[in-house]
């Protein structure tokens, strides 16, 4: 093991305030702005470049030093600026993309040492212990860049990304689109060993907190939403599973594909700001909740547009685009 500052030059970012910067799309030569988020590679937006401040170069690692997702770490694939409490790691020797990703994983696994507000990582990140380069697993060192590049190809590479115009979207209640059912409480003491995914109130691992021996009580090709704990964390469940009572399960009333589910999940997660520990997203409230969707002239959701949009995005070729074989007759 080695201290992080023996492998990387560690600096503490730009300390800029996104609200005081001019917004500019990436397509118009904007620069990524990296904050302390655990989403979207930490990128909170894109801003106009500053004349006297060159952005950090692509290929460096950013680490959130505080906030609720402390030690969220990413390899930045575009030039960037940073907010406060974001460290920038520049390798002292050439490293592959896969090696950098492995370092990000090692850094994140130290999160348990800190708390969001009581103990941050500003002073101790430099001396955090990570494996030495020769200790990296073979699957990291032997990673082929061309294999990763191939993964980035969209499922529908022949067309560009369709334009999104949310101002023209129509409102739909979730209960119009889904039969929403509450999960069932199951304590650890009553869990048996097995292969059935158990979905809990968490923001990681696709919501799966354990595998159990109990029979599934929800079918695959559904969406789970935590209404308590990690409120509004939503995931697509491809196979039959069990869910805790802190989770609501959305069974579609339409022909849902994994791609359509991913489109919907993005919109569902954007509702997170409406809820917290004191205002939970319980079943009755969720049934009446509204999301805006692309719609056809007859006010029916435009499922084909959603499917095509997801299939046009980078890495969409890695999505299992058909849920065939994932259904169950469970009710």
Contact residues for 125 (Cβ-Cβ < 8 A; gap 6+): 4, 10, 63, 65, 87
Closest to 32 in 3D by CA, of 22, 42, 45: 45
pLDDT level of residue 174 (50, 70, 90 thresholds):
very high
In a shared domain, residues 136 and 170? no
The answer, yes or no, to whether residue 118 has pLDDT greater than 70, is no
Same domain, 127 and 197: no
pLDDT (tens digit per residue) in 218-260: 999 999 999 988 888 999 999 999 999 999 999 999 999 999 9
Model pLDDT, residue 176: 96
Q: What is the mean pLDDT of residues 90-105?
A: 93
Mean of the per-residue pLDDT values of the chain: 89
Q: In Å, how far from its chain's centre is CA 221?
A: 19
Where are the strands (E) in the chain, listed by range? Answer: 2-3, 8-11, 31-34, 43-47, 61-64, 73-75, 80-82, 86-91, 129-130, 170-173, 178-182, 193-199, 208-212, 222-226, 234-237, 242-243, 247-252, 290-293
Q: What pLDDT sits at residue 115?
A: 60
Residue 328 lies in a domain: no
Q: Which two tokens stand for residue 88?
A: 């920038």
3-state secondary structure of 257: coil
Backbone angles phi, psi at 304, to 5 degrees: -65, -40
111/185 same-domain check: no
| Averaged pLDDT, 298-315 | 93
Same domain? For 193 and 99 the reply is: no
Distance CA 257, CA 259 (A): 5
Mean pLDDT over residues 5-14, rounded?
Answer: 94
With respect to residue 158, please indicate whether it lies within any of the assigned structural domains: no
User: Given this model, what pLDDT does residue 286 score?
Assistant: 94
Host domain of residue 214: 166-318
The pLDDT of 109-116, averaged and rounded, is 77
pLDDT in tens, 123-166: 889 999 999 888 898 888 787 766 667 777 888 877 778 888 89
State the Cα–Cα distance between residues 54 and 48, nearest whole angstrom.
11
Total number of domains in the chain: 2
In this model, does residue 117 exceed pLDDT 60?
no
Lowest mean pLDDT among 92-101, 149-158, 295-304: 149-158
Is residue 329 predicted with pLDDT exceeding 70? Answer: no
Q: What distance in Å separates the CA atoms of residue 197 and residue 101, rounded to the nearest whole number? A: 27
CATH for 222 = 3.90.220.20
Q: If we measure between CA atoms, which residue out of 46, 56, 122, 51 comes closest to residue 84?
A: 122
Residue 328, judged by CB atoms within 10 A of its CB (0-12, 13-18, 19+), counts as middle
- Phi and psi for 9 in degrees, rounded to 5? -85, 120
- From 96, 125, 151, give the residue that closes a domain: 151
Q: Which pLDDT score, from 0 to 100, does residue 43 have?
A: 94
| Same domain as 299, residue 191 | yes
């Amino acid at each position: 093991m080695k201290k992080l500052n023996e492998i990387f030059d560690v600096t503490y970012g730009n300390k800029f305030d996104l609200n005081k910067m001019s917004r500019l799309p990436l397509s118009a030569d904007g620069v990524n702005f990296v904050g302390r988020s655990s989403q979207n590679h930490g990128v909170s937006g894109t801003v106009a470049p500053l004349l006297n401040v060159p952005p950090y170069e692509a290929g460096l690692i950013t680490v959130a030093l505080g906030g609720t997702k402390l030690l969220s770490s990413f390899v930045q694939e575009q030039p960037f600026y940073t907010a406060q409490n974001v460290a920038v790691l520049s390798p002292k020797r050439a490293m592959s993309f896969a090696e950098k990703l492995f370092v990000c994983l090692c850094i994140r696994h130290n999160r348990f040492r800190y708390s969001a507000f009581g103990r941050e990582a500003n002073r101790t990140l430099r001396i955090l212990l990570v494996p030495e380069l020769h200790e990296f697993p073979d699957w990291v060192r032997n990673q082929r860049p061309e294999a990763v590049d191939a993964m980035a190809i969209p499922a529908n590479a022949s067309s560009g990304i369709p334009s999104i115009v949310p101002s023209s979207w129509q409102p739909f209640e979730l209960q119009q689109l889904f039969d929403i059912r509450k999960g069932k409480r199951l304590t650890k003491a009553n869990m048996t060993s097995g292969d059935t995914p158990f979905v809990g109130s968490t923001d990681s691992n696709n919501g799966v907190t354990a595998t159990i021996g109990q029979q599934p009580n929800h079918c695959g090709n559904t969406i789970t939403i935590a209404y308590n704990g990690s409120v509004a964390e939503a995931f697509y469940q491809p196979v039959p599973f069990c869910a805790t009572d802190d989770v609501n399960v959305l069974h579609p009333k339409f022909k849902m594909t994994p791609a359509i589910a991913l489109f919907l999940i993005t919109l569902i997660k954007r509702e997170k700001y409406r809820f917290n520990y004191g205002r939970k997203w319980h079943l009755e409230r969720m049934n009446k909740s509204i999301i805006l969707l692309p719609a056809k002239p007859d006010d029916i959701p435009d499922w084909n547009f959603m499917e095509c949009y997801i299939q046009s995005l980078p890495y969409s070729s890695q999505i299992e685009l058909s849920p065939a074989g994932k259904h169950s007759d469970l009710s």
